[in-house]
A = this chain, B = another copy of it.
Amino acid sequence: MNKKKIINDPVYGFVSIPYEIVFDIIEHPYFQRLRHIQQLGLSSYVYPGALHTRFHHALGATHLMTEAISVLRAKNVEITEEEAKAVTLAILLHDVGHGPFSHALEHSLVDDVSHEELSVMFMERLNKEFDGALDLCLQIFQGNYHKPFLHDLVSSQLDMDRLDYLNRDSFFTGVHEGVIGSDRLIKMLDVRDGRLVMEYKGIYSIEKFLIARRLMYWQVYLHKTVLCAEMMLVKVLQRAKELTQTGADTELFATPAFRYFLENSWSIEDFRELPNVLDQFALMGDMDIFTSIKVWQHHDDPILSSLSKSIYYRKLFKIEMGRVPVSLTRLHELQQKAMKFYGIDSKAVNYLVFADSTSNSVYSYDGTQINIAFKDGSVREITAASDYHNLSQLSTPVVKYYLCYPREIMNL
């Protein structure tokens, strides 16, 4: 069977699968499951085209990796076939540990389990199944390989992950301002002292990339309506878990895998020690959560049903967002109104009226800074290299505070 398939990607045109093992991993159920996990969760409630999946993103990032390898090799950076294959697998699998609505899930269903750790677990299982074929991939992914630029390609401020997701999210949301010249950025990658750098002439493209990223954060990823929907999802999952675990409803509708996480609170140790936890996790997709929520709209518990109905039919809460923390007085005032209106107690009201904050810095000094290679051989960090003196300011996090509550109590 010909395993060098071509895939039609509306973002890049035709995308080839570069190695047989890449094809085999794509065919594997662990990877196929990503077809059922959307990249942007509930963002499609604001951008109806944003239904693309982690499956598609992983293929796109893999395509960019193929291009990056060929650009670097043309600049005489040594990358063996073995390394090329490994770094390609690493980017293919970099997000394989994501569950449905990852961010919401991490705050409700599981206990402090990050998708990075799960990605490694999935890779280790695959490595066993494929007789060690992912050894080098794992080394690179975990940053333990002696050519750090390979890890940089998978995970850094200019990795193929970011390049693809900005392109892809812009494409499917229709927010064209987020489009970055990945083509151009990749053509200007190089390696100095073992690390990934950008040629000097790419400096304006990087500035543009950072600003595009910032724009996508506020316009898409942290769009207030999206934030509100996601917080409501966290709340409905917490409520369902409460009802299940307190025994208030032992028969709450849920798909079997989903129920497995409603009934228990698995920690990362559980994932490590009980193989079935990861097996069940692998069976969950967005639809497990969403079909269950749809059924819950008819549940007896007013909090569960009203949250479910609101989410399913997109009758979202009112959200107020600003740059100063939410006033506690106002929060309590609204909670009082809600308690009266819905006839619920001061604990339950936290499901319906709640405040939180979100923050974002476009560029962070976390050891994976963007380095610029000058023609004279020197390498400088981007904020030092740009004639835009205060690019450094992009690393200051912007915090926004928000408050959500049902529209029904707005005018009480």
Is the CB–CB distance between A47 and B8 below 8 Å?
yes
A330 at the interface (CB under 8 A from B): no
Q: Is the CB of A255 within 8 A of B291?
A: yes
A283 surroundings in chain B (CB, below 8 A): 294
Q: Is the CB of B9 within 8 A of A183?
A: no
Q: How many copies does the complex hold?
A: 4
| Contact with A10, one of B36, B173, B295, B394 (Cβ below 8 angstroms) | B173
A323 at the interface (CB under 8 A from B): yes
Interface: A369 (CB within 8 A): no
Q: Are B183 and A32 in contact, CB atoms less than 8 angstroms apart?
A: no
With a cutoff of 8 Å between Cβ atoms, the chain B residues found around residue A396 in the complex are 389
Task: Find out whether the CB atom of B56 lies under 8 angstroms from the CB atom of A48.
Answer: yes
Instruction: Report if A147 contacts B (CB, 8 A).
Output: no
Interface 9-residue window, one of A79-87, A103-111, A212-220, A336-344: A212-220
A residues 342-356 with Cβ under 8 Å of B? none
18 other contacts beyond A48-B59, A283-B294, A288-B291, with CB at 8 A cut-off?
A7-B48, A10-B49, A10-B171, A10-B173, A10-B174, A11-B49, A32-B314, A36-B290, A51-B51, A176-B179, A177-B184, A204-B214, A204-B215, A207-B214, A253-B256, A255-B295, A323-B387, A389-B390
8 contacts between A and B (CB under 8 A): A8-B173, A9-B174, A14-B187, A36-B290, A175-B181, A177-B205, A207-B215, A283-B294
